Amino acid sequence: MKKPFFRKTLLMAIWFLFILGLLQAAGFILFTFSDVRTIGSYGYPAGLYVYHPSLNFLYKPGFEGYFVGAGYRDIAFRINSHGFPDDPFEPRSPRHRRIIFLGDSVVFGSGVLEENRFTEQLQAEERMAEAGVEILNLGVNAYNFGHYLELAKLRFMGLEPDLVVVGFTLNDIQKMEGLWPEKRLKPVKGQKKDLLRREWYSKPVWISRVQQSLGRTCAARFVEQVVKTLKQKRMSEEDLKTYNTKWIRSAVRYWSEESNRDGLREKLQQFREEVSRQGIPFVFLLFPEKNDLLHPGEYSLPRESTINLLVELHMDYCDAYGSFAAVPDIDSLYLVHDSVHFSQAGHSVIRDVILDCAVLGLIPGRLRNDSK
**254-285 pLDDT per residue, tens:** 999 999 999 999 999 999 999 999 999 999 99
The proportion of the chain whose per-residue pLDDT surpasses 90, expressed as a percent, equals 53
CA distance 306 to 252: 11
**86-137 pLDDT per residue, tens:** 999 998 888 888 999 999 999 999 999 999 999 999 999 988 888 889 999 9
**269, part of any domain:** yes
**100, part of any domain:** yes
**41, part of any domain:** no
**346, part of any domain:** yes
CA distance 79 to 100: 16
CB atoms within 10 A of CB 15: 10
**91, part of any domain:** yes
**Of 272, 301, 315, nearest to 170 (Cα)?**
301
Residue 121 domain boundaries: 49-360
**275, part of any domain:** yes
**252, part of any domain:** yes
CA distance 59 to 73: 19
Q: What is the mean pLDDT of the chain?
A: 85
> Phi/psi of residue 286, each to 5°?
-90, 125
Burial class (CB in 10 A: 0-12, 13-18, 19+), 129: exposed
**29, part of any domain:** no
Question: Alpha carbon of 58 to those of 61, 99, 106, 222: distances in Å?
Answer: 9, 20, 16, 33
Q: pLDDT value at position 244?
A: 80
Residue 199: partners with Cβ closer than 8 Å, 6 or more residues away: 50, 51, 185, 186, 188
**Of 324, 308, 313, nearest to 267 (Cα)?**
313
The proportion of the chain whose per-residue pLDDT surpasses 70, expressed as a percent, equals 82
* 221-253 b/e (C-beta count within 10 Å ≥ 16 → b): bbebbeebeeeeeeeeeeeeeeebbebbeebbe
| For residues 349-358, average pLDDT | 92
125 compared with 242, residue with greater pLDDT: 125
Sign, CA torsion 297/302/304/305: positive
Instruction: Report the CATH number that the domain containing residue 97 is assigned in CATH.
Output: 3.40.50.1110
Q: pLDDT value at position 271?
A: 98
| For residues 19-27, average pLDDT | 84
In degrees, rounded to 5, the angle at the alpha carbon of residue 137 between the alpha carbons of residues 134 and 141 is 175
pTM of the model: 0.82
Domain total of the chain: 1
